[in-house]
Chains A and B, each alone.
Chain A
Amino acid sequence: MLCSAVIVAGCGGQEDDGFANRLSPASGANGGPKTMRYGNGSEPGSLDPHKASGVPASNVLHDLYEGLVITGDHAQIVPGVAKSWEISDDRLTYTFHLRDDAKWSNGAPVTAQDFVYSLRRSVDPKVASPYADIHSPIVNAEPIIAGKKDPDTLGVKALDPHTLQIRLKEPTPFFLKTLAHTSSDPVYKPAVKKWGDSFTQPGHAVTNGAYEMKTWRVNERITLKRNPYYWDNAHTRIDQVEYFPIDDPKSELSRYQAGGLDWTYTMPPSEIGRIKKTIPGQYHAVPTLGIAYLGLNVRRAPFKNSPKLRMALSMALNRRVITEKILRGGEAPAYSLIPPAMNDYDPVEYQWKNWSDAKREAMARKLYHEAGYSDAHPLKAEYLYPSGGQGKVIGIVAAAMWRKVLGADITPVNQEWKVFLQTTREGYETQIFWGGWIGDYEDPNTFLSIFNSKAALDYPGYDSAVYDAAQEASSHTPNGPKRTALLHKAEGTLLHDAPIIPVWFWTNHHLVKPYVKGFTGNALDNYYTKNFDIVPAGSSDRRAASDNKGASHAP
């Protein structure tokens, strides 16, 4: 259908993509500013690093602000404003040596005092950062967030303008990784004092990353320009960055195909098959630190005190059918909590991962019967999912599988997004519910901590002393075999108790034009435009496309 339409429209047709020739960048070829144009999902709610949440905001913030450390090509920690650091023997004191040449976009130097101010602001209850608790390893962070201590008592100190000391209340092996999160970014105090909530607006904002604000039109685009004072400005090749909020993946794809975007935020699932065939070199599947799961509310019947029933539901679900027939985007079926994209960790997995379907289903039925259910007394429950997204189709498929394998009677129930969030947060009504989680930093703790009985995110109401103890101990044990054992114990306990049914691990889908150089997918899906370049086809022609294919993570 596509080909005939192209012929009708009278197009010569690009040899590899079937669209009219859109393989030239917006600019840069004839002296104009080199511009990178990103599709960026939804409109960021805020560009204040201490108030922002969500991927679209952090994409922009990575270009605007630079923390003490940032993430590299493989999501590893690399120096940012801090050129080096030392960790004391007791692992409680971190001393950071800041670059002498780090500057704000108005030319003022970035100092240790800026980080002291910013970290205090990030935990200040008056600012009410949604990510304040990411700083809880720092001395006094928790009482400050709770309003019991003054933000000035936070364990951060400027030893001199270029030396910053951070003290932790307990050794925390992943602490450095939390510093790469946007909520650890510095903000420019005079701008915050002068402008208040609007200090992020063009003309007000002073930033220390490779770029600074140029324009911001809500629901249209955010434009960034080069920060001439950035310490590594000489190596920054792209002059201007544009972020377009496009919620609808189909509209985004059209705009990419029509040449209005160089990079897409995502892909419509229904188009993945066609795109893989027509423009394989531009398609990138990036396995990320994310999991889709079905939650089981263990606070109340029927899932309270019935691990066998929970396990029966988990085992009855044919995850491969879901990933291969429904998602079709190269997602990995999930038999553990921690995604395989997590570096330096081998997750605990269900043994029945490699069982035959018949054997797995027979065991599911056996557990179902042992839990006291049968064809005469089937399980009756509701599955709650939010409007939009994949919750609906997964629910229908899962309900069909549970009916077929177990004879259970599960009814999918829809709620509008905000209503759904409230219902799952309160946990009074839910039985089975749609859930998902994307890690904030690259350590198993970002997944394990959410099911701690004290965590706000513990939607299933999971409450296991064994789990809590292993998870808490693991977050204070230095990396090594001892920590790995604790992590395995926590993950294994959770999988055994089955308050959640892991379904699949997240894969992000991006289309990237072949003239964009330097793109490498990473587990956090974090990118910095300063590492990219735009090389128009004319200057490197054929090599351009093959380079891009080389970097592809497409399966």
Chain B
Amino acid sequence: MLSYTIKRLLGAIPTVFILLTLTFLLVHLAPGSPLDSDRPMPAQIRANLEAKYHLDEPLYEQYGHYLLNVAQFDFGASFQYKDTSVNDLIATGFPVSLAVGGFALLLALVFGIPLGMLAAVRQNRFADYAAMSGSLVGISVPNFVLGPLMILVLAVYNNWLPAGGLGGWQNYVMPVIALSVMYMAYVTRLMRASTIEVLRSPFIRTARAKGLSEARVFFVHVLPAAILPVISFLGPGAAAILTGSVVVEQIFGIPGLGRFFVTAALNRDYTLVLGITLFYGIIIIGFNLVVDILYGWLDPRVTY
């Protein structure tokens, strides 16, 4: 297991390098410059700024400078947010995305897993139909519809929750729900399908034949096997949900990483785009690794 982990971590280095190189090329090749704004500057001032940010140098030299800085964990200064560094922006944005995303994921699992199992056990009965149609709605209603709707009812018409921003725990309620609903629906459906499949497999029949109690059959034999698809979904799912949701952050005015990422791309904020891409890349690779290790632990058939 340890040698496997080390092998995977070493394998991640070229992946990250390729990711960084491609992103660097892409952002620099995109038309438009970080220096373009609705108030264009006189040519001389523009030239001064290009010199300041090394934009007047050949691309390979710029890349060399950049790699050298990244090797020292310095992502540079943001083009857009001139008074702060990319490191600081990630450091302030990530905890927010982590809190919102973490709670949303927790909510999705806490409700999605039991609901899916319930639907499987009561297959083709009322509880099943209710859970499945509910999850269909959850998957179909995009969060850019759900978010404003919640704001209208819970904040504008009734002053129960703040309409946006960060402050107390109240500010987290709506974004967490808006973000979690789709994942919750997805987990429910995954869990239902896999539970139904596991319930029909021979080892469950064996367990029942041995005279085990239904509860023991369910929680000791069915659950660990049925949860595997959810676990493998959790890798990319957690990475996606933790790195922030642009839409939810935008609607609720939350200063998370997702919003930084999109505005950085639109602003051609080269350093911020690269910094967040690298950060995302590492998180996604990390989560996939954690999931693979979890897999080996949960499923005795998988060995490394």
What is the interface of chain A mostly: helix, strand, loop, or mixed?
A: loop
Q: Is the CB of B151 within 8 A of A422?
A: no
Interchain CA distance A407-B187 in the complex, whole Å = 57
Interface range on chain B (Cβ under 8 Å from partner): 35 or more
CB within 8 Å of B: which of A1-16? 5-6, 9-11
Q: Are A46 and B165 in contact (CB under 8 A)?
A: no
B189 CB-CB contact with A under 8 Å: no
Q: Which of A162-170, A249-257, A470-478 contacts B (4 or more CB under 8 A)?
A: A249-257
Contact A48 B163 (CB under 8 A): no
Binary per-residue interface labels of chain B (31-55) against chain A in the complex, 1 for a CB within 8 Å, 0 otherwise:
1110011111111111011001000
Selected contact of B253 from candidates A132, A147, A244, CB within 8 Å: A244
The residue of chain B having its C-beta at the shortest distance from the C-beta of A5 within the complex is B157
Q: Is the CB of B250 within 8 A of A456?
A: no
Docked pose: A133 CA to B46 CA in angstroms: 12
- Choice from B32, B43, B151 contacting A419 with Cβ under 8 Å: B32
| Chain A minimum-CB-distance residue to B50 | A128
Q: Are B151 and A130 in contact (CB under 8 A)?
A: no
A41 to B103, CA, bound (A): 29
B82 at interface by CB-CB < 8 Å:
yes
Chain B nearest CB from A429 CB (Å) reads 11
A210 contacts B by Cβ under 8 Å: no
B43 interface neighbour in A6, A9, A456, Cβ under 8 Å:
A456
B89: which A residues are within 8 A, CB to CB? 218
Q: Is A416 interfacial (CB-CB < 8 Å)?
A: yes
Question: How far is it, in angstroms, between the C-alpha of A51 and the C-alpha of B252 when the chains are bound?
Answer: 29
Residue in contact with B255 in the complex, picked from A11, A201, A217, CB distance below 8 Å: A217
**From B268, which residue of chain A is reached at the shortest CB distance?**
A418
Say whether A130 contacts B41, CB under 8 Å. yes
Known interface pairs A251-B250, A416-B266; A219-B255 also in contact (CB < 8 Å):
yes
With known contacts A11-B158, A418-B31, A421-B36, A147–B48 Cβ distance under 8 A = yes
When the two chains form their complex, are residues A218 and B81 in contact, meaning their CB atoms are under 8 A apart? yes
- Contact partner of B83 (CB less than 8 A), chosen from A200, A417, A457, is A200
Residues of A within 8 A of B33 (CB): 418, 422
Please tell me if the beta carbons of A128 and B52 are within 8 angstroms of each other in the complex. yes
Indicate if the CB atoms of B251 and A19 lie closer than 8 Å: no
A409-425 toward B: CB 8 Å interface, digit per residue (1/0)? 00000001111111101
**Quick one: which of B45, B151, B162, B255 has the most chain A CB within 10 A?**
B45
- Closest Cβ neighbor of A9 among chain B residues: B157
CB-based contact A46/B82 at 8 Å: yes
With A and B bound together, what is the CA distance between A5 and B253 in angstroms?
25
Also in contact, A125 and B44, with CB within 8 A (given A218-B255, A254-B164, A258-B162): yes
Q: Which A residues lie at the B interface, using CB under 8 A?
A: 5-6, 9-11, 19-22, 43, 45-48, 51, 53-54, 125-126, 128-133, 145-147, 197-198, 200-201, 217-221, 244-248, 250-251, 254-255, 257-260, 416-423, 425, 436, 456-457
